Amino acid sequence: MPKHQTTRTVAHSAQKMFELVSDVEQYPHFVPLCESLRVRKREERDGKTVLLADMTVAYSFFRDTFTSRVTLDQANLTIFVEYITGPFASLQNRWHFKPLTETSSEVDFYIEWEMKSRAIGMVVGAVFERAFRRFASAFEARANQVYGSRLASSAV
């Protein structure tokens, strides 16, 4: 099963990065391959916000929509995404935001996925892998655009 993990130090607070990644409706503006995103349901459960969201991904001839449950845990500065339906056999990712100073944080991003169809996996699998590897950079660039850029980041 393909997977990717990266840890980056960014020049934005953990809270700001959590808020930016939590704002899923903005993903079509900057997330690689994300054509559209619609939140179907939003509710509070045990101090966490839980979203049910449909994301449409598109590349060349491939276009499909998948549904995920997104759990936003502000108290622990974590986001967990669980796959429900769509073109994947499985997909899950998580974000963790660790404060370093008032104006910097460490962002840990992890994703693993597997396509349902081996044929589709062979055709678009490499594209998804490249896109997922660019996710952390896309969010950092978005944070610099929204909050302003102060420092260079580093990937671990």
Q: What pTM was computed for the model?
A: 0.87
Kind plus residue range of the DSSP H or E element containing 115: strand 104-115
pLDDT tens, residue by residue, 20-61: 999 999 999 999 889 999 999 999 999 999 999 999 988 777
Burial class (CB in 10 A: 0-12, 13-18, 19+), 143: buried
Angle 65-66-72 (CA atoms, 0-180°, nearest 5)?
130
Confidence of residue 150 (pLDDT cuts 50, 70, 90): low
Confidence of residue 124 (pLDDT cuts 50, 70, 90): low
Identify the structural domains of the chain with CATH numbers, from first to last.
3-155 (3.30.530.20)
In Å, what is the CA distance from 113 to each residue of 38, 106, 119, 129?
A: 21, 24, 15, 9
Local structure of 21: helix, strand or coil = helix
